[in-house]
């Protein structure tokens, strides 16, 4: 059985046993055209859920903070205009109509501990008009290490410290604009995490939150999301927050590449030809050309639904829409997962994926993309197809390279990392300088993505990397290596004693519901 999938910046036909199940995401739901988005935004702001209309919440003296998610989502980057540009332009128009002066409006990209967005990236997202009107005096990246712009609001009932941007509590209204692709994001997570600091993020981005509970990518039954909600409740006591969520569809690819998201039976004759020829043609190209091709892809995502208002009323509607877009049912659990990982990660936008992300994105994200229970049985095996090049972006991944060089040679255990290395990295003056002024992810960030793999690292028998020419990178990561998929599958059968193999065709994204 041929499995058309990625291996870094390559598309390959991986050979799977005929009994394998290749799972494809649902067809993309119909989304709103650009012209429909502005009218929908006006509608939801005139009648927000659980709140008074926007025009009644503000006046000529109001100070308004507009926060928005960074380019970690949606990804790959959207073609222009980005939905956030359309939404925020309509929002600004309505604020002006309510007599809010432009000087009283501040825009913040809620990067949390992610790298800050550069001016050209912000312009791609928000458009030249918003940039010209607000940047840089009234449009900036959040800085989680700028003590002068932060405020401590006390602890939750569980003793978790709550810190956020001072602008949140100084504003008469906070409006958080969020494009949501997976249940992990938005809701109470928006302000509490997007405008949170290391001190307030560390308690829930901890191995203790996921060690015995796999629910990290969905809020239900999640220790992590419960902690985030407790912090959000504290912030809500000090600020009026309106959330505006756009639940996105699954249109990752432009039309000429849509065959990558479909099984053969849903493909046209032309798409079937492309499915067969693409791996051969990609094989003939040098790696740098393939990378240039894939990095130029702009997604065609569209919002399926947009709602605004109180978090507790808006977010459940977003989750319901996402479930329609994401849910795929499978029968029973599987012994082995085969996954072809592209050179793509929410934490490598504008960069190559580094080897730390190769493991953490599959175990932290893909393994956890389920609704009711893991789709692999306990003791199962994960096979990752990716060349895992030892590359680290010199600006964005400074902390990741340090993590690679100083932490992984000593331990791969999340609890030992937390005890012996986390504080050192989070408080490192050079890493803080790189985060604040040199476009790098925060020193704590590589720990957070590794911690999300805490549960699968205990749950699985083995993780096998296929793609590198030798075992060196895999050994450094603490995973196994096989010279070919055939060898890896044979090894997995020996370990599990089972024949049930699942392969996931991602992107687009999907969440599995396991029957039985």
CATH of residue 188's domain is 3.40.50.11440
Residue 283 belongs to some domain of the structure: no
The answer to whether residue 346 sits within a structural domain is yes
Looking at the structure, do residues 128 and 14 belong to the same domain, yes or no? no
Q: Tens digit of pLDDT per residue, the chain (516 long)? A: 999 999 999 999 999 999 999 999 999 999 999 999 999 999 999 999 999 999 999 999 999 999 999 999 888 889 999 999 999 999 999 999 999 999 999 999 999 999 999 999 999 999 999 999 999 999 999 999 999 999 999 999 999 999 999 999 999 999 999 999 999 999 999 999 999 999 999 999 999 999 998 899 999 899 999 999 999 999 999 999 999 999 999 999 999 898 999 888 888 888 888 888 999 899 899 999 999 999 999 999 999 999 999 999 999 999 999 999 999 999 999 999 999 999 999 999 999 999 999 999 999 999 999 999 999 999 999 999 999 999 999 999 999 999 999 999 999 999 999 999 999 999 999 999 999 999 999 999 999 999 999 999 999 999 999 999 999 999 999 999 999 999 999 999 999 999 999 999 999 999 999 998
Residue 261 and residue 506: Cα distance in Å, rounded? 8
In a domain, 423, yes or no: yes
In a domain, 105, yes or no: yes
Q: Are residues 57 and 128 in the same domain?
A: yes
SS (H, E, C) 391-441: CCCCCCCHHHHHHHHHHCCCCCCHHHHHHHCHHHHHCCHHHHHHHHHCCCC
Whether 288 maps to a domain, the answer reads no
Looking at the fold, whether 461 and 430 belong to one and the same domain comes out as yes
Do 501 and 460 belong together in one domain?
A: yes
What's residue 156's pLDDT? Answer: 98
Q: Which domain holds residue 18?
A: 2-27+332-515
Residue 149 has a CB neighbour count (10 Å cut-off) of: 14
Count of CA atoms in the C-beta half-sphere (13 A) of 220: 11
Span 10-56, pLDDT tens digits: 999 999 999 999 999 999 999 999 999 999 999 999 999 999 999 99
- Specify if 51 maps to a domain: yes
Last residue of a domain, one of 213, 248, 283: 248
Do residues 108 and 140 touch, judged by C-beta distance below 8 A? yes
CATH code of 425's domain:
3.90.226.30
For residues 462 and 381, the answer to whether their CB atoms sit within 8 Å is: yes
The structural domain count of the chain equals 2
Please indicate, yes or no, whether residues 96 and 23 belong to a single structural domain of this protein: no
Domain boundary (218, 248, 278) is at 248
Same domain, 121 and 193: yes
> How far apart, in whole angstroms, are the C-alpha atoms of residue 243 and residue 104?
19
Identify whether the C-beta of residue 147 lies closer than 8 Å to the C-beta of residue 197. no
Q: Are 132 and 173 within one domain?
A: yes
**End-of-domain residue from the set 203, 218, 248:** 248
What is the predicted pLDDT for the residue at 322?
Answer: 97
The values of phi and psi at residue 169, to 5°, are -85, -20
| Residue 481 phi, psi (nearest 5) | -130, 145
pLDDT tens digits for 319-339?
999 999 999 999 999 999 999
Whether 137 maps to a domain, the answer reads yes
79 and 189 assigned to the same domain: yes
Claim to verify: residue 404 and residue 470 sit in the same structural domain: yes
Q: Which residue has the tokens 């956020």?
A: 164
* 231 and 180 housed in the same domain: yes
Q: How far is Cα 290 from Cα 10, in angstroms, rounded to an integer?
A: 7
* CA-based torsion, 418, 419, 420, 425: positive or negative: positive
Do 222 and 350 lie in one domain? The reply is: no
Answer yes or no: do 174 and 192 share one domain: yes
What is the pLDDT at residue 503? 98
Residue 318 within a domain:
no
């Amino acid at each position: 059985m041929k499995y058309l999938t990625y291996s870094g910046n390559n598309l390959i036909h991986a050979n799977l046993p005929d009994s394998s199940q290749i799972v494809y995401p649902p067809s993309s739901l119909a989304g709103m055209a650009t012209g429909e988005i502005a009218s929908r935004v006006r509608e939801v702001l005139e009648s927000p859920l659980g709140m008074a209309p926007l025009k009644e919440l503000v006046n000529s003296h109001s100070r308004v903070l507009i926060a928005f998610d960074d380019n970690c989502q949606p990804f790959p980057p959207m073609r222009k205009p980005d939905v956030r540009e359309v939404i925020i332009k309509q929002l600004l128009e309505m604020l002006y109509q309510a007599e809010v002066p432009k000087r009283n409006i501040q825009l913040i990209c809620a990067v949390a501990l992610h790298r800050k967005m550069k001016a050209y990236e912000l312009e791609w997202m928000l458009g030249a008009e918003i940039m010209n009107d607000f940047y840089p005096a009234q449009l900036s990246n959040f800085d989680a290490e700028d003590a002068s712009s932060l405020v401590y609001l006390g602890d939750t009932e569980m003793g978790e410290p709550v810190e956020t941007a001072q602008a949140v509590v100084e504003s008469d209204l906070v409006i958080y604009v969020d494009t949501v692709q997976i249940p992990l994001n938005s809701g109470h997570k928006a302000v509490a995490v997007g405008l949170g600091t290391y001190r307030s993020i560390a308690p829930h981005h901890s191995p203790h939150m996921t060690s015995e509970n796999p629910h990290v990518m969905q809020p239900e039954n999640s220790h992590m999301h419960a902690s985030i909600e407790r912090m959000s409740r504290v912030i809500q006591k000090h600020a009026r927050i309106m959330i505006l969520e756009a639940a996105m569809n699954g249109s990752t690819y432009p039309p000429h590449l849509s065959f990558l998201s479909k099984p053969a039976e849903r493909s046209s004759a032309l798409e079937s030809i492309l499915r067969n020829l693409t791996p051969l043609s990609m094989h003939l190209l040098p790696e740098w050309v393939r990378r240039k091709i894939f990095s130029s892809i702009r997604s065609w995502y569209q919002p399926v639904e947009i709602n605004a208002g109180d978090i507790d009323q808006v977010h459940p509607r977003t989750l319901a829409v996402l479930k329609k877009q994401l849910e795929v049912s499978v029968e029973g659990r599987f012994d082995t997962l085969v996954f072809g990982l592209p050179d793509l990660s929410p934490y490598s936008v504008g960069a190559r994926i580094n080897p730390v992300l190769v493991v953490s994105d599959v175990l932290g994200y893909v393994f956890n993309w389920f609704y009711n229970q893991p789709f692999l049985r306990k003791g199962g095996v994960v096979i990752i197809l990716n060349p895992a090049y030892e590359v680290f972006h010199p600006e964005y991944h400074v902390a990741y390279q340090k993590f690679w060089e100083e932490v992984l040679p000593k331990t791969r255990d999340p609890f030992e990392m937390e005890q012996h290395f986390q504080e050192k990295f989070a408080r490192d003056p050079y890493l803080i300088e790189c985060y604040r002024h040199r476009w790098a992810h925060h020193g704590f960030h590589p720990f957070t993505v590794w911690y999300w793999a805490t549960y699968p690292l205990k749950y699985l028998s083995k993780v096998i990397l296929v793609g590198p020419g030798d075992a060196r990178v895999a050994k450094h990561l603490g995973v196994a290596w096989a010279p070919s998929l055939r060898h890896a599958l044979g090894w997995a059968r020996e370990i599990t004693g089972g024949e049930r193999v699942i392969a996931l065709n991602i992107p687009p994204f999907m969440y599995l519901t396991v029957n039985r």
